[in-house]
Amino acid sequence: MLGRNFFHDLLSFFCFSIHLFGGLLRTAESAYLYHYCLGGNYVPTTTYQTNLNSLLFTLSSSITINNGYNNATVGETPDTVYGSYQCRKNIDTNTCQQSCVRPGFNELALLCPNSYEAIIWYHRCTLRYANRSFFEIMEDEPSYTLIVNNELNNNLSNPHQFTKALVGLVEDLSRKATLVTGHDSGSGSGAGAGRTWLFATGKRNFSASDGDKIYGLIQCDSVITPKSCRTCLEKIKVDAGVDCYGKRNGEIMRPSCYLRYQSDDFIHIDVPSTTEKPAPSLTPYSSNNTTMTKPAKRKIKTSSMITIAIVISVVVIAIIMTTIIRMQLTTATNGHYLICLRRWIAENIMDDVDDMATAESLQFNFTTIKAATNNFSEANKLGQGGFGSVYKGALPSGQEIAVKRLSSSSGQGEEEFKNEVLLVVKLQHRNLVRLLGFCLQLEEKLLIYEFMPNASLDQFIFDPVKRKRLDWERRYKIIEGISRGLLYLHEDSRLRIIHRDLKPSNVLLDADMEPKIADFGMARMFKFDQLQASTKRIMGTYGYMAPEYAMRGHFSVKSDVFSFGVLVLEILSGKRINSFHESKGVDDLLTYAWALWKKGTALELLDPTLKENHSRGEVMRCIHIALLCVQEDMADRPTMAAIIQKLTNFSVSLQLPTSPPTYFVKKKGETSTSFGDTVDEEQYTVNDASITQLHPR
């Protein structure tokens, strides 16, 4: 017989499952925002669980609140549990306790069963517990930004201006909240004794219209110092300019600080915002609410009918929820890339909100690119590498494009995607390939470039027929153009960029044979006072890598200079770096060039197609400069600024080069390490180097 307990358990499970799969059953009053379950899991029925239950009961029942804050500790090491809550100042104590603290701790126990540590945010309070003491310690991780992507939240005519106003409002509120008197900076005791509120509210206009205002509320835990509060709120300010770019309503949560802002006044009336995700209804089904008055036989029939009805309802709702969740995951996955991209820009290269607007404007619609490439047809395919395939396409305007479709199976695909998009925000030069934009749709990550009709340099200098189109004058201009592009990366741009994979296939040629450096997937940014970095992941192409990078993982601007020297020798000779393995006594192009230089017959290096048409002085100077670039000691190699001076001013004297390195070079026919493959660290790394390290339409 199906009795009351069956229906009680079934309905409880039903309600809880719905909560887990999308939060469809939530009450507006609790105003749930987000939660994290942290620290791994403890074994149920242990002392820790007993202590945790006691702690949650104590805090839920407590009415002793100092400046909205309370904490408690239960148990002895190693099973001690620490817990706290912080109410918002604009909510009275009783309301906070009844509508937020008490139901909140109950919900946290359900959301994070067996978790050693957990935190949950509501509009009215923040609750947390852990197996470590966190009282009076400023913590800014984990964090979460809650934004609803709907027409109302995105409907701004000037998102740039709005975001600047939002960042300014956060700055104002941060100063206001931390300008307090009588704040004890000592350790204090229990429930924030001797502390004061670190809380502020305010508003700011974001346009000329008096009605266009942003209302904001910020708060830190009452037990941290004002200085610590300012540090936490500084992180929130960055989040506001990045995650909340052009969004009317949002909330940013960190363990020790919190921001809520809206374009309507929520401060003086405690109403749910447009961003909230209300807390689930956790009231258990009570059999006392129903009395059974029918005979037993009738009860069985009624029970069966109810069971069938419930099962059908569960199946229907599950189907609906699955559809909704799939749609939400699509948005969330793509949104995650955008937030990561924005955060990376903000932390590394964003001078102001203008850079974010530039990145946002580069987005392409996937349908447009799919049509432009004829659904990525084989006939449009230009080539393929470890990161993915490249296709030719044409936009509706008639503009020809090259589309790099990053492979979902490539481990470095996401990193390359991020690097390429971010660098275009800051880098613009005639000798760098121009990225027109990007596209994100679920697993699809596309990079859209200007189309180079003459493909890459390697398709000319190594082709016995096409190389004839590159006379000496053109080759010399290509060398000079590449050098100017590298100088821009190293010294003249707003950043300092180390390319790390300069080679003929990464130099594209436009219709006028003007060289453009491409493929910034492995590029790394340096601070202007930074000279060198190191990595355990050796990424690049054998033969073009400087010895200090190939052997020890050290890279700098001089690593690119080495690659440039190899590239110049290939342009001069028409021979690949690894094409000499069958020649007696010669291991590679560097060894060959050095041997000719020592014998005084360096001109023999020159491509035979140029023998009758070249400038002897320019050729010898290029060979001399290339050999200076590939010297084994990086300190002996010239900078790109010095190289350009030597190329363009023949009155500048050149020092004598030393011998190039004799280290491993992949032989012809072997697979080169390119497109982000990793060199065996045990074989080639001789010390423990430290690792250095978009929302679709």
- Torsion over CA: 65, 68, 69, 72 (sign): positive
Cα–chain center distance at 571: 37
Spatial separation of the C-alpha atoms in residues 569 and 606, rounded to whole Å: 9
Residue whose C-alpha is closest to residue 453's, from 540, 394, 527, 529: 394
The answer to whether residues 627 and 594 touch, using CB atoms and an 8 Å cutoff, is: yes
Q: Which two tokens stand for residue 597?
A: 């230089």
Which of 99, 129, 126 lies closest to 258 in space, CA to CA?
Answer: 126
**530: its two tokens:** 């930074």
Find the helix or strand (DSSP H, E) in which 422 lies: helix 413-426
Residues 6+ apart with CB under 8 A from 212: 205, 206, 263
Q: Which residue has the tokens 């749609």?
A: 327
What residue has token string 């603290």?
Answer: 101
Query: 266: which strand partners?
Result: none
Among candidates 521, 509, 454, which has minimal Cα distance to 481? Answer: 509
Instruction: Compute the half-sphere exposure of residue 352: CA atoms within 13 Å on the CB side of its CA.
Output: 6
Quick check: 339 and 245 in contact, CB under 8 A?
A: no
The set of residues, in sequence order, having a beta carbon less than 8 Å from that of 516 and lying 6+ positions away, is 430, 431, 432, 433, 434, 452, 485, 507, 508, 509, 510
3-state secondary structure of 126: strand
- Distance, CA of 128 to CA of 35 (rounded, Å): 9
CB 112 within 8 A of CB 35: yes
Helices (H), 533-639: 547-552, 557-573, 589-599, 616-629
Is the CA virtual torsion 357, 359, 365, 368 positive or negative? positive
CB 260 within 8 A of CB 217: yes
Residue 221 annotated among the catalytic residues of the structure? no
Say how many residues make up the chain.
Answer: 697
User: By the 8 A CB rule, do 651 and 621 touch?
Assistant: no
Q: Does 404 show up as a binding residue in the annotation?
A: yes
315: Cβ contacts below 8 Å, ≥ 6 apart: none
DSSP helix/strand/coil, 468: helix
Residue 282 token pair: 């956790």
**How many angstroms separate the CA atoms of 366 and 439, rounded?**
6
How far is 528 from 338, CA to CA, in rounded Å? Answer: 27
* DSSP code, position 101: I
* Tokens representing residue 398 in the block: 């008639």
Q: Identify the active-site residue in 221, 243, 355, 501.
A: 501
Query: Rounded distance, CA 486 to CA 493, Å?
Result: 10
DSSP state at residue 210: T
Q: What CA–CA distance (Å, rounded) separates 346 from 356?
A: 8
Helices (H) and strands (E) in the chain, counts: 19, 23
CA–CA separation, 36 vs 440, rounded Å? 27
DSSP lists the bridge partners of residue 200 as 218
Cα–Cα distance measured from residue 364 to residue 402, given in angstroms and rounded to the nearest whole number: 13
CA distance linking residue 338 with residue 344, whole number of Å: 10
Tokens 């990464």 appear where?
Answer: 506
Residues forming the active site: 501
Binding-site positions for ATP read 404
